Structure 1
């Protein structure tokens, strides 16, 4: 939900000097589908300025504004970040609280009063969910899962399923290894739709504070995901992998079991990571190799 705000209110928020123009802004719009009296942002695209209806556009510092336009341009070092911060500051998301009648809650659960649990959600036994967290429609939370405060579990996600853990008996027949561990999500973790986070075998699968997991991701048993790590869509993380704080994992990448990814690492699109990755490194390819010396 947007609230109206003045141009100089925006400039004050961005720690920029005030302007003489007194513009009232009534929302936000894409630079490709702008609307009157809105705030938009751009990099250095080539645009037909006759089609741009936004009143104010956040742009890069080296952008050369067109002549003969009434648009107010705000040059900043990082336009996307400035726009995103403005969107968060001036746009209020509706807080939802409550438990849908169609949700199924197991025994001996500890659920904070201001949690939201959506339609057809299934919560297992002995689950703990912290203040302000949201479990959206048709998600499944397995037994003994611990979810911190301000977490978001999107629709269709499964937290706490058994991992793919098997051993063969004396006749070569595979049998299931019981998974006795569970999943721990610290505060402010977000899990995308149709993502699966498997429970640990003996220890816990753990996602540390602020970790963000995209849609259609598989996090295997005993994985440790560091603080504020970003794992995008279609990623497969095999068992017992450790991903460091503030790492960024591109779509479609895969990780061999048991490896370690250092903090502040970047894993490229579709990479097959079969060896440990040092902190602050950037790797890509199949198999993944460091790209810093290329």
Structure 2
């Protein structure tokens, strides 16, 4: 439980407030007393709602001329809301290793790590401090996971990739994958994901990358810093993804191509050719339709 003044201090706001306790959060469609909500656009109806709900704290755009004792003006209400919810209202996983987890003796587990029920951590895995690995996840041999990462449930990291050659009798046989997966710091990986280890070198997920549920990443893929890969996307082998890329749901990217920095790929696109930086690409096959940012907008 927090107070208005504590939240204002956290958000570095000097707004004058009438003091009352904040017990939780509200959406604009379901306002409750002693909660905090955020507003991205003000109109007459929203302003009337703010006035009517005087025991609710509202985060509103800084340019607003609405001056009430239950509002805090911030540059980006949605971002400010996310920050304070993370700081004050999100239950944290208590560090520790669940009794049903299977941890190799050669694995190195950092401080304040949480490993959930029925997880398997294989030989020579390294997990950095503050990382959370949720239930039923398997981390295969030699995988390296950085600090303050989040790995969802039922995810596979570092398993063998899908690669075959044909023998002299015309039958397929699996190509051994001897590489590993390297995951940077502050990476989030959702539930139901599969990230394959490299064939010889590494599959690499860089710092601050965010991977949604049910994403497949094949062997030798490189994902750049602060990139987003959203639910249902499939990234084929040896794809190189730049920094700050947004890959939308159900995108498929063919093997060995490059996605430049600051690219946005639209929902359901099939990417068959490399895409230069700062582009928006849509369709199947994907085609570039415009720049993502103006030169000084990024």
How far 1:259 sits from its partner (Å)?
0.8
Q: For 2:30, what is the secondary structure of its paired residue?
A: coil
2:95 aligned residue: 97
How many positions carry a matched residue from both structures? 288
CA gap 1:272/1:30 in 2 versus in 1, 3 angstroms: same
CA gap 1:172/1:187 in 2 versus in 1, 3 angstroms: same
1:26 aligned residue: 23
2:295 aligned residue: none
Contact 1:215–1:233 (8 Å) recurs in 2: yes
1:39 aligned residue: 36
CA gap 1:107/1:12 in 2 versus in 1, 3 angstroms: closer
CA gap 1:141/1:53 in 2 versus in 1, 3 angstroms: farther
How far 1:89 sits from its partner (Å)?
3.2
Contact 1:97–1:116 (8 Å) recurs in 2: yes
Distance, in Å, in 1 between the alignment partners of 2:239 and 2:55 is: 46
How far 1:151 sits from its partner (Å)?
1.5
Distance, in Å, in 1 between the alignment partners of 2:236 and 2:225 is: 19
How far 1:281 sits from its partner (Å)?
1.4
Distance, in Å, in 1 between the alignment partners of 2:65 and 2:267 is: 33
Superposed CA deviations along residues 42-95 of structure 1, whole A, max 9, x for unmatched, are: 334866939968612223457787xxxx88344444221121122223335324
**Unaligned runs of at least 5 residues, structure 1:** none
How far 1:134 sits from its partner (Å)?
1.5
Bigger drift between 151-160 and 92-101 goes to 92-101
CA gap 1:35/1:285 in 2 versus in 1, 3 angstroms: same
Alignment of 1:190-229 (within 5 A): 190-229=188-227
Distance, in Å, in 2 between the alignment partners of 1:29 and 1:149 is: 32
Distance, in Å, in 2 between the alignment partners of 1:193 and 1:265 is: 25
1:55 aligned residue: 56
Distance, in Å, in 2 between the alignment partners of 1:148 and 1:204 is: 15
Query: Which of 162, 165, 169 is residue 160 of structure 2 equivalent to?
Result: 162
Contact 2:161–2:219 (8 Å) recurs in 1: yes
CA gap 1:81/1:178 in 2 versus in 1, 3 angstroms: same
How far 1:194 sits from its partner (Å)?
0.6
How far 1:199 sits from its partner (Å)?
0.6
Superposed CA deviations along residues 24-53 of structure 1, whole A, max 9, x for unmatched, are: 322212222222111101334866939968
Distance, in Å, in 2 between the alignment partners of 1:201 and 1:170 is: 22
How far 1:174 sits from its partner (Å)?
1.3
1:88 aligned residue: 86
How far 1:159 sits from its partner (Å)?
0.4
The TM-score normalised by the length of structure 1 is 0.88
The TM-score normalised by the length of structure 2 is 0.87
What is the root-mean-square deviation of aligned Cα atoms in Å? 2.5
Alignment of 1:167-178 (within 5 A): 167-178=165-176
CA gap 1:22/1:5 in 2 versus in 1, 3 angstroms: closer
Distance, in Å, in 2 between the alignment partners of 1:247 and 1:293 is: 13
CA gap 1:127/1:49 in 2 versus in 1, 3 angstroms: same
Distance, in Å, in 1 between the alignment partners of 2:286 and 2:29 is: 36
Distance, in Å, in 2 between the alignment partners of 1:293 and 1:192 is: 29
**Unaligned runs of at least 5 residues, structure 2:** 293-298
Contact 1:31–1:52 (8 Å) recurs in 2: no
Contact 2:93–2:114 (8 Å) recurs in 1: no
